[in-house]
Amino acid sequence: MKIYHGKIVTPDQIIEQGTLTVEDGAITAIDRKEPDRIEPGDIDAKGSWVMPGIIDSHSDAIEIEMEPRPTSKFPIDLSFFELEKKLASEGITTIFHAVSLMKRNTVRWPRQNETVFELIDDINRLAKGSHLIRHKTHLRYEIANVDAAGQVAGLIREGKIDELSLTDHTPGQGQYRDLEVQRRLLVGLRHYSEQEADEIIRETMHQAKLDPETIRELAYLAFRKGIPVASHDDDTLEKLEIIHGWKASISEFPITLEVARSAKDMGLFVVMGAPNLLLGKSHSNNLSAREAVREGLVDMMCSDYYPSSLLHAVFELHYELGMTLPHAVNMVTLNPARAMKLNHILGSIETGKKADLLIVAESGQKPVLQTVIVDGKKICELSYLDPEHVDTFAE
């Protein structure tokens, strides 16, 4: 298969009117001219962008797909396949399902211990079957979940997870250093009364946590197994230094500019949420992704809770924040691939790599996804937004 008449986005340049050749699921040639012959199955990109498939290192979407309402619980087999159709249509070709191992008795069913352990097994099972995109598992382990440490170690040893982040959502620090933010979340989103919310905050402020030595052992175990380790919501330099000493290579959602700068100086991959970028602020009143980007402190974007945000973030970075398009694309492709240790096969348009590709038109500087290719196979085509009709559609 050849993809021609495209603006090919490589890690460091744009090849106008270029041609990609794909054979046996891999990119075998990148040419600066039209193909000598057009064969059936070749794709005319019609001047649209040709870029790598998006790699999302942190997405909570599977939890929402399984439990869209507190009283509605859908089976994982249904949720998995329905979610991946949505992800494919948003340009995400590799997803790290962020499953949160909070507590045995946490209110949210998808985050209870038993549910999470079953979910990890199910994701691994379903990822081996018929699927559209690549599925990975990102375990978000809450360090107040002291009973689960042994099982987490087992998951690491058995190779059942692909990323480990260590989280601490205790009120008064991290994401919830502003207690009013957590109070509004509990009342507005979880529908607790103000009195109930205050009681939950008081109780969790004094909850037991894993001892530092146990956390260190888990992080070292993951590191030895080649599993990337991430910190989460770092709010102090002291916390950042500790997690860096535990072989963490990723800092997710640093809370302040100072912490983000220190994480960058330590050589950590700094991750910010694409929803934060598009909205212009953090929903928790923490560091603005735009501010961090302007300071040159962000390496990669993730979708966090809104998968549609990633492709839009690329064009926001380019048109609104002045980033070159290759740099902006790298933020959701090559840099996540590097952080997840997948850059030898994924994340960029280079010969020898897997042909996970997007063809993207534009409408008013907004992306219009047209074609999604995974392993050299067309898995999604949004033909009703053909480039020649985009302007009419926008009107």
- Amino acid 266 reads M
Q: What DSSP designation does 27 have?
A: E
pLDDT of residue 111: 83
Residue 74 counted as domain residue:
yes
pLDDT of residue 172: 47
Q: What percent of the chain has pLDDT over 70?
A: 86
Partners of residue 94 on adjacent β-strands:
55, 134
Residue 179 counted as domain residue:
no
Please state, in angstroms and rounded to a whole number, the distance separating the CA atoms of residues 251 and 91.
Answer: 24
First to last CA, the chain: 34
Please state, in angstroms and rounded to a whole number, the distance separating the CA atoms of residues 20 and 8.
Answer: 8
Residue 140 counted as domain residue:
yes
pLDDT greater than 90 at residue 188: no
- My answer on whether 84 and 213 are in the same domain is yes
Residue 297: closest CA among 351, 254, 236, 239? 254
Q: What DSSP designation does 207 have?
A: -
- My answer on whether 357 and 334 are in the same domain is no
- My answer on whether 229 and 268 are in the same domain is yes
Mean pLDDT value across residues 189-209: 67
pLDDT greater than 70 at residue 179: no
Q: How confident is the model at residue 284 (pLDDT cuts 50, 70, 90)?
A: low
- My answer on whether 47 and 73 are in the same domain is no
pLDDT digits (tens, 9 = 90+) for 256-276: 999 999 999 999 999 999 999
pLDDT greater than 70 at residue 376: yes
pLDDT digits (tens, 9 = 90+) for 67-121: 998 789 999 999 999 999 999 999 999 999 999 998 755 667 788 888 999 999 9
Q: How many domains does the chain have?
A: 2
- My answer on whether 148 and 280 are in the same domain is yes
Q: Which of 339, 367, 382 is a domain's end point?
A: 339
- My answer on whether 139 and 235 are in the same domain is yes
Answer with the residue of higher pLDDT: 260 or 198: 260
- My answer on whether 68 and 157 are in the same domain is yes
Mean pLDDT value across residues 183-187: 64
Beta strands in 157-268 (DSSP E): 163-167, 229-232, 250-252
Q: How confident is the model at residue 48 (pLDDT cuts 50, 70, 90)?
A: very high
Please state, in angstroms and rounded to a whole number, the distance separating the CA atoms of residues 157 and 220.
Answer: 12
Residue 195 counted as domain residue:
no
Residue 126 counted as domain residue:
yes
- My answer on whether 297 and 159 are in the same domain is yes
Q: What is the CATH number of the domain that holds 361?
A: 2.30.40.10
Do 360 and 366 meet the contact criterion of CB atoms below 8 Å apart? no
Q: Which domain holds residue 122?
A: 54-168+209-339
- My answer on whether 310 and 378 are in the same domain is no
pLDDT greater than 90 at residue 362: yes
- My answer on whether 71 and 119 are in the same domain is yes
Answer with the residue of higher pLDDT: 349 or 103: 349
Q: What is the dihedral of CA 125, 127, 130, 131, to 10 degrees?
A: 150
Mean pLDDT value across residues 141-161: 94
- My answer on whether 123 and 240 are in the same domain is yes
Query: DSSP secondary structure string, 62-93?
Result: HHHHH-SBTTB---HHHHHHHHHHHHHTTTEE
Q: How confident is the model at residue 394 (pLDDT cuts 50, 70, 90)?
A: very low
pLDDT greater than 70 at residue 190: no
pLDDT greater than 70 at residue 171: no
Q: Which of 339, 371, 386 is a domain's end point?
A: 339
Specify the pairing of strand 357-363 against strand 49-52. Answer: antiparallel
Q: Which of 339, 361, 380 is a domain's end point?
A: 339
Q: What is the CATH number of the domain that holds 273?
A: 3.20.20.140
pLDDT greater than 80 at residue 174: no
- My answer on whether 280 and 292 are in the same domain is yes
Mean pLDDT value across residues 6-25: 97
Q: Which pair of structure tokens corresponds to residue 236?
A: 């102090």
pLDDT digits (tens, 9 = 90+) for 377-392: 999 998 755 555 554 4
The reply to whether the predicted model has a pTM over 0.75 is yes
Residue 197 counted as domain residue:
no
Q: What DSSP designation does 53 have?
A: P
pLDDT of residue 189: 58
pLDDT of residue 268: 97
Residue 268 counted as domain residue:
yes
pLDDT greater than 60 at residue 58: yes
pLDDT of residue 129: 85
